[in-house]
Amino acid sequence: MPGAEAFIQLLRRNDLFTVQDEETLKRIIACGSEVLLSDGECLFRKGDMGDSIYVVLDGAIEISVQDGGGEFHVMNVLEVGSLFGEVAILDNLPRTANAAARGGAHLLRITGGDFHQIMIAESGGGDLLMRLLCERVRWINDQVEEKHALDLERRRNEARLQQLMSDTSHELRTPIAVLRAQIEAMQDGIIATDARTLGIVHDQVMGMARLVDDLFTLARSDIGHLDCRFDLINVLDILDGVLEAFRIRFVAADLRIEWPHAPDGGFVVPGDAARLKQVFSNLLENSLRYTDPGGMLRISSRTEGGQVIIEFDDTAPGVPECLLPQLFNRFFRVDVSRSRAHGGSGIGLALCQSLIQPFGGCIDASASPIGGLRITLRLPLRMGS
């Protein structure tokens, strides 16, 4: 066991103790106790009770958390001179992390009772030491907590990326298989290479291209790199233009559109005209694909609380109430077979949500009073319009 002088030199490797006089350090050493750990040996586990503070005299200590699968994730490595506590390691809650030696460790342990003795002996000077120690432990814990939060976010991003890759490969597999079969059939002379067949092939290719474009847009939105302009735009003029492009398709599908004339001057909002056109196109495409023939789409607009509110109501079929919150999840479909038959990828509403968020907009889904689905779009209104 090192002598008092050797211990003092070790303690002074932490700048917290450089301001303490030698007598105070001797009292700390006298009250404290040594802890020797071999490589990998655990000092305390998540859930353990304790009020001790430790100073790393030699070696290193790993602070880690364990995920649901039993895997340990290292949040911090505390080297010689570091000071840490058993309590409030993460989220300002006690007993939330594990501490174990990396390559062996030599520690000085100071318990709550030790501190009490030091404070009595210091006759008031111990208050300063206690405050300094508490501040240092809090700082260490904040660092660990920050790393823990970053690690959790990294793992969530990895999980989302894996899910996205899995969903994307699944979505592309079917149209690629169909396209391959059609091309091989044309090569083998089984089907004629005429305008109709080439049109089917073209539609398959364009469908895959749209899916890839949408996924690319979502990916850029996820990392905050979505290209957007911030202009003052007339939202109802843009909606009128998109509706005009869809009218022929709605008539062909035996669907009516109810859309009253826009108020004089329309509604001016800050946003990107191209992105807003994408949003309106996706919403109209959804109604066109999933509304039964003979039905209708009713669009209404108003201002309320400094926002432009646009509601898209269609007729049957509707969406079960329990599934409404999932409509904005990527690749979610209420009826998978029907969605595939209509060419839906299941990312249209998720894309709409990503496109309007940069401008302070929001979108939600509810049951429509006319029997189908209501999509409500809210955009911040320019002051004074």
The CATH number assigned to the domain holding 114 equals: 2.60.120.10
DSSP string, 193-253: -SHHHHHHHHHHHHHHHHHHHHHHHHHHHHTT------EEEEHHHHHHHHHHHHHHHHHHT
Assess if residue 165 is contained within a domain: no
In terms of domains, do 146 and 238 share one? no
In terms of domains, do 117 and 233 share one? no
In terms of domains, do 131 and 245 share one? no
Residue 61 clears pLDDT 80, i.e. is over it:
yes
Residue 289 clears pLDDT 80, i.e. is over it:
yes
Neighbouring-strand partners of residue 122 = none
The span from the CA of 307 to the CA of 325, in Å, is: 22
- Report pLDDT digits (tens) over 339-348: 444 555 678 8
Average pLDDT, the chain: 78
Residue 140 clears pLDDT 70, i.e. is over it:
no
Residue 251 clears pLDDT 90, i.e. is over it:
yes
Query: pLDDT higher for 375 or 217?
Result: 375
In terms of domains, do 123 and 244 share one? no
Beta strands in the chain (DSSP E): 33-37, 42-44, 53-66, 72-78, 83-85, 98-110, 231-234, 256-258, 268-271, 296-304, 307-314, 362-367, 373-380
Assess if residue 277 is contained within a domain: yes
**Structural domains in the chain (count):** 2
In terms of domains, do 233 and 135 share one? no
Neighbouring-strand partners of residue 24 = none
- Three-class secondary structure of residue 15 per DSSP: helix
Q: Which domain range does residue 111 map to? A: 4-151
Assess if residue 341 is contained within a domain: yes
In terms of domains, do 147 and 234 share one? no
Choosing from 129, 151, 173, the residue where a domain stops is 151
Residue 209 clears pLDDT 70, i.e. is over it:
yes
In terms of domains, do 373 and 233 share one? yes
Assess if residue 180 is contained within a domain: no
Assess if residue 157 is contained within a domain: no
In terms of domains, do 146 and 242 share one? no
In terms of domains, do 134 and 255 share one? no
In terms of domains, do 233 and 128 share one? no
Percent of the chain beyond pLDDT 90? 26
Assess if residue 286 is contained within a domain: yes
Choosing from 151, 170, 204, the residue where a domain stops is 151
Whole-structure pTM over 0.75, yes or no?
no
Give residue 67's pLDDT band: very low, low, confident or very high (50, 70, 90).
Answer: confident
Choosing from 151, 183, 200, the residue where a domain stops is 151
In terms of domains, do 138 and 239 share one? no
CATH number, position 253: 3.30.565.10
Residue 198 clears pLDDT 80, i.e. is over it:
yes
Give residue 337's pLDDT band: very low, low, confident or very high (50, 70, 90).
Answer: very low
- Report pLDDT digits (tens) over 83-128: 776 654 444 444 567 889 999 998 888 776 766 666 666 555 455 5
- Tokens matching residue 153: 């976010």
In terms of domains, do 138 and 253 share one? no
Predicted local distance difference test score (pLDDT) of residue 132: 59
Assess if residue 37 is contained within a domain: yes
Torsion of CA 316, 320, 324, 326, to 10 degrees: -120
- Tokens matching residue 380: 């911040």
Assess if residue 193 is contained within a domain: no
